[in-house]
Amino acid sequence: MLLERSLVFVVLLVVFGAEKSLAQSGGLSRGSFPKGFVFGTASSSYQYEGAVKEDGRGRTVWDAFAHSFGKVIDFSNADVAVDQYHRYHEDIQLMKDMGMDAYRFSIAWSRIFPNGTGVVNQAGIDHYNKLIDALLANGIEPYVTLYHWDLPQALADRYNGWLDRQIIEDYANYAETCFKAFGDRVKHWMTLNEPHTFAVQGFDVGLQAPGRCSIPLLLFCRAGNSATEPYVVAHNVLLSHATVSDIYRRKYKQNQQGSVGIAFDAMWFEPMSDSPTDIDATQRAQDFQFGWFMDPLFFGDYPSSMRTRVGNRLPKFSTAEAALVKGSLDFVGVNHYTTYYAKHNSTNIIGILLNDTLADSGAITLPFKDGKAIGDRASSIWLYIVPQGIRRLMNYIKQRYGNPVVIITENGMDDFNNPFISIKDALKDDKRIRYHNDYLSNLSASIRQDGCNVQGYFAWSLLDNWEWAAGYTSRFGLYFIDYNDNLKRYPKNSVDWFKKLLKSA
């Protein structure tokens, strides 16, 4: 623990000196990043495509969840979303006009296998072939996520999805089908998006699909075990990724010359105080979020703090499984939005009340210290703007994991979907411009000054879209979507800012 505590201090000391002046300086340009650095925007199939009953697409766990009363704050669903299934040509032109190099999107498993397994749905293959070809024809590189939370409902019905090891075989079959169909043109694969998020939100607190939980305080908990299921899900996720990575390397990499990674959610955490207990708690908070997945992939096992605190509830890797998992990443995708404080949980009251993975860490994470917020807040209640956090996180990855290739697979902020302001005023998103400028400035410093191996940045998101349990109340897009006028796209001021950045030398 002393070594890990020291690591937190090393990261803080490395970046403290120059970060303030850099974040406040102007002059950000393409030249602020290495040659070949990739800029893009990101999306996911369920949040963008719509067309949920077209061309043979099967039902997903998010279809079921979104149509369950009270699960989405504005009672909406993504049956239409922003209709990118039909409008992808228009949206590709928007990316091209901005000067974006790449587009990160996800393939809907249930469009390829409507029942999760069985016979391939050719209409699904055809759709993604057309999308990929259209991107490449416009000079935009496809970055493909194989799983962005939309599990075929048939697999949840059959064996509870990620809770059963059968998922490893079914997911591998789906992934290999995609390698065969698209791998001649797709060179950047992410096996999964934010496994920590869907393990905890879906199987611990029940706020996302499939909505399983057992916390007594949460009256909507119907089924599940919050103390064990998230760990089982995460274990099966890691084995699924490693199995797919092994298949790709053995059978496809030599000819297709692609790479395989994961897009992780990763907050940065600052100690609430300089006390040893709070510094230790800060490391535990990181272990139970990012390290939960990264440590097995780089070291072959879960963090020691997790082994100690979770005990027999934490699954074990066999020798063969550990060897399969370790080293199975070609790059680290990072979805980073915000930074929180962390402090030691000096009482066990939370643990008694929750009895779940969040309590297991023994750390309390908050965006406030002495009544003061850690940074300005976006619309989402969890998103506070702390630009230096991205630099500190990059240095942490460099120090702990040996400076692997990193791609920022998501970064951005949202505005509230205010029905009482005009579209003209809604397009004035100066706060979003400052957000991207300051985060990119700190990211540039992590590369240029600190030597972090970051090779790409994807803004979330190209368009305003359906934001899971927040529905349509949240607007993350560079383009405004008029939900009252046939989903018309309008460029916000941030579009012009990105155009100028990407055209600059």
Q: In whole angstroms, give the CA distance from residue 155 to residue 157.
A: 5
User: Is residue 27 domain-resident?
Assistant: no
Q: Which residues of 235-265 are buried (b: 16+ CB within 10 A; e: fewer)?
A: bbbbbbbbbbbebbeeebbeebebbbbbbbb
CA distances from 313 to 38, 207, 225, 309, 318 (A): 41, 22, 11, 9, 16
- DSSP 8-state symbol, 312: G
Bridge-based pairing of strands 368-369 and 415-416 is unpaired
Residue 13 is assigned to a structural domain of this protein: no
Quick one: CA torsion of 474, 476, 479, 481, rounded to 10 degrees? -20
Indicate which residue of 229, 270, 321, 410 is catalytic: 410
Task: Note whether residue 120 is domain-resident.
Answer: yes
3-state SS class at 41: strand
Q: Is 194 a catalytic residue?
A: yes
Q: Domain range holding 44?
A: 34-502
Please indicate, yes or no, if residue 7 is contained in any of the structural domains.
Answer: no
- Dump the DSSP string for 281-293: HHHHHHIIIIIHH
- Given a cut of 70, is residue 354 above it in pLDDT? no
Does residue 317 carry a pLDDT above 60? yes
Is 19 among the residues known to form the active site? no
- For residues 86 and 108, give the distance between their C-alpha atoms in angstroms, rounded to a whole number: 15
Q: What is the CATH number of the domain that holds 93?
A: 3.20.20.80
Number of domains in the chain: 1
**CA 147, CA 264: separation in Å to the nearest integer?**
12
End-to-end CA gap in the chain: 45
The amino acid sitting at 371 is G
> What number of other Cβ atoms are within 10 A of residue 20's Cβ?
11
Q: Is residue 15 part of a domain?
A: no
Identify whether 218 is part of a domain. yes
pLDDT band at 13 (very low <50, low <70, confident <90, very high): very low
pLDDT digits (tens, 9 = 90+) for 152-211: 999 999 999 999 999 999 999 999 999 999 999 999 999 999 999 999 999 999 999 999
Token look-up 């369950």 returns: 68
Q: Is residue 266 part of a domain?
A: yes
Q: Which two tokens stand for residue 260?
A: 């395989």
- Active-site entry in 194, 229, 321, 467: 194
Task: Report the pLDDT value the prediction gives residue 18, as an integer from 0 to 100.
Answer: 42
Q: Which residue has the higher pLDDT, 315 or 1?
A: 315
Domain assignment of residue 6, yes or no: no
